[in-house]
Structure 1
């Protein structure tokens, strides 16, 4: 694990209304984050949103770019994303995970001013923390199936494991 104890810090866009109501990340039943996390072998079983604290036992953490809850991410302003990116950098500098995995490439592009960023590893780093852009697991993101998302999450997992073995 990284100096701060986390291999990967997953970062969602912002809390949806169900997540805000429950206090659990990716709480909406149609969200594919928890199934994809398991399909990609980050977790040995599919966790429920209410079990999010169990992520720490696997060297994983979870946060958001923007703290304000909305029904849809497109309700957030570019200014909110940029401020969220600034606060996220501070959080990453404090926690020092090996990887920051931003779950939603559009959110990453806006928060960090990286207009041409693509899914996968990014050139930007925050200190020693590398960044990986992942697809948004919202049910609204029909371009990605749970299986294709799991393949991309698994690419990150393989890289994180290989890096840990080299350390």
Structure 2
């Protein structure tokens, strides 16, 4: 991969990154919004300090550690990626509460169309704001979108120091077990 400099990253601000989706996925992972590295590369969770890909593997969702550039392999595993807010920013705190709420409406319509078994929102604050669920905690939620169940996971960003890769992988593995309980073994 070509090394990206500050100007390359800044040029990616506000870019949209295509979802990695298909109809009827087992789990649709939903990030907060694309970071500048993701927007610059076109690959979700591309920032080197982001733990999404290692945690996805450690939790058993993928048979091997995938690189962000291999995100196209996810739908064959019954997995996909989208975001609450589509536009890229350097930090999630650049997003307004209105953007989160509008993102929640757009995400609801997307989930109704794609009908994944589970929507996994990676970031409890993003979920709370987008869906008006101020008391939501990590884990399965009571809310559903049609037949799609919702699970909130810890944000894999390297900035989320409250969770280690090991504790995060355990939380993701709980979702994996629940998803397999619905589908049967993969």
1:71 matched to 2:90: yes
Of the candidates 30, 41, 46, which is equivalent to residue 22 of structure 1?
Answer: 41
Matched, 1:157 2:176: yes
For structure 2, the 5+ residue unaligned runs are: 1-21
Aligned to 1:137: 156
Q: Structure 1 residue 164: deviation in Å?
A: 1.1
TM-score for both structures, normalised by structure 1: 0.96
My pick for the range that moved more, 157-166 or 39-48, is 157-166
Taking only aligned residues, the RMSD between alpha carbons, in angstroms, comes to: 1.2
Kindly provide the CA deviation profile for residues 32-55 of structure 1, in whole angstroms up to 9, marking residues without a partner as x. 000000000000111000110100
Q: 3-state DSSP class of the match of 2:136?
A: coil
Runs of 4+ in 1 over 3 A off after TM superposition: none
Instruction: Give me the whole-angstrom Cα distance separating, in 2, the residues matched to 1:104 and 1:84.
Output: 14
TM-score normalised by L of structure 2: 0.86
Deviations 1:117-156 (A, max 9, x none): 0000000000000000000000000000000000000000
Q: Mind listing any 5+ residue stretches in structure 1 that lack a counterpart?
A: none
Larger Rg: 2
1:95 aligned residue (77, 94, 114):
114
C-alpha offsets along residues 93-129 of structure 1, whole Å, 9 cap, x if unaligned?
0000000000111000000000000000000000000
1:53 to 66, 69, 72: 72
Alignment of 1:105-124 (within 5 A): 105-124=124-143
